[in-house]
Amino acid sequence: MPSEDAVAGKVALITGASRGIGFAIARRLGKMGARVSICARDQAKLDQAASVLRGEGIETLAIRADVARSDQISVLIQKTLQELGPIDILVNNAGIGLFGPFHEFGEADWNAVLDTNLKSVFLMSRAVAPEMMRRQTGHIVNISSLAGKNTFANGGIYCASKWGLMGLSGSMAEDLRGYGVRVSAICPGSVATEFSGQSGKSHSKILQPDDVAHAVAALVTQSAESFISEVHIRPTRKP
C-alpha cells in the first residue's frame, strides 16, 4: 500500500488556501512532509494562514495572487520554483459562488464565477503541466463539487462552472496520463466553510474541510501505476 511518506519533501501548490478547504489541504499535506506554497487574494488572511502553518512546523511559502490572471500566475509559479523547487502537486481549490435565479445576475457575475472556478484551473494547470510532463511525474487535483454532477434551483452559474470543470478535468487526465501526470477531481457536497452559507445546519450533517483534505491525501499517495480520477464525498447523515 502507498505510504504518506511518499509526499515527504515534495512541493505542493494550493490555490485559495488562506482558509476553509484550501487551508485544510495545505495543513494536511504539510503534516505529511510536503513543502507547501499557498496563494489567495486577501493578503492579511494569507499571512495569517501562513503563520499558523509555520507555527506547526510546515515549510510554507505564501504568495498573494489572483489565479484568474495569467500574469500573476507566472509570478506565483516562478517564485515557487525559486523558493521550493519543481511543483509535484497542484491543488486547484480557489472558488466562489453566487446563488439565485440565473436571470437576476449580470454578465459581470457570470465572469467572476467562471473566471475563478474554471478559467483559473485552465491557467494554473497549463502553467505547471509542461514541467510535470518533462519530469514524467506530478498530480493535479481539481476541487469541484457535487454541483458539477447535479443541477438545482438558484445554482445556474455555479453549476455551469463546476460542470465545465468536470469536463476540463476529464480531458486533462487523458492529455497527461501518458506522461505520468495524474489528474483527479474531488466532488464534495456542502462543506462547513464561510463559502457554503450552511449556517443553521447540524454540524454532524455537513462535511468538514478536513474531509476534503483527507481525500486529497488519499489521491496523492496512490501508487504510481494507477490514479483515482473522480471522488464524491457526502456526509454520512443527510442534511
- Write the pLDDT tens digit of every residue in 214-230: 999 999 999 888 999 99
Total domains in the fold of the chain = 1
Distance CA 74, CA 191 (A): 30
In our burial notation (b when 16+ CB lie closer than 10 A, e otherwise), range 218-227 reads: ebbbbeeeeb
Question: Three cell numbers at 179?
Answer: 506522461
10-48 tens-digit pLDDT? 999 999 999 999 999 999 999 999 999 999 999 999 999
Catalytic residues: 158
The model's confidence at residue 239, banded by pLDDT at 50, 70 and 90, is low
> Which residues 6+ apart lie within 8 Å of 31 measured at CB?
56, 58
Percent of the chain with pLDDT over 90: 88
116-154 tens-digit pLDDT? 999 999 999 999 999 999 999 999 999 999 999 999 999
Check if the beta carbon of residue 8 is closer than 8 Å to that of residue 196: no
The model's confidence at residue 238, banded by pLDDT at 50, 70 and 90, is confident
Strand order in 138-143's β-sheet? 60-64, 35-40, 11-14, 89-92, 138-143, 181-188, 230-233
The answer to whether residue 238 sits within a structural domain is no
Residue 195 has pLDDT above 80, yes or no: no
Check if the beta carbon of residue 192 is closer than 8 Å to that of residue 19: no
How much is the mean pLDDT over the chain? Answer: 94
Q: Which residue has the cell 505542493?
A: 12
Three-state helix/strand/coil letters over 169-212: HHHHHHHHHHHCEEEEEEEECCECCCCCCCCCCCHHHCECHHHH
- 172: containing domain: 4-233
The answer to whether residue 144 sits within a structural domain is yes
Query: Which pLDDT value is given to residue 213?
Result: 98
Residue 202 has pLDDT above 90, yes or no: no
CATH of the domain at 111: 3.40.50.720
Q: Based on the number of CB atoms within 10 Å of its own CB, is 152 exposed (0-12), middle (13-18) or buried (19 or more)?
A: exposed
Distance CA 216, CA 83 (A): 24
The answer to whether residue 145 sits within a structural domain is yes
Query: Which pLDDT value is given to residue 199?
Result: 47
The answer to whether residue 239 sits within a structural domain is no
Residue 1 has pLDDT above 70, yes or no: no
Give the pLDDT mean for 98-112. Answer: 98
**What pTM, to 2 d.p., does this model score?**
0.94
The answer to whether residue 46 sits within a structural domain is yes
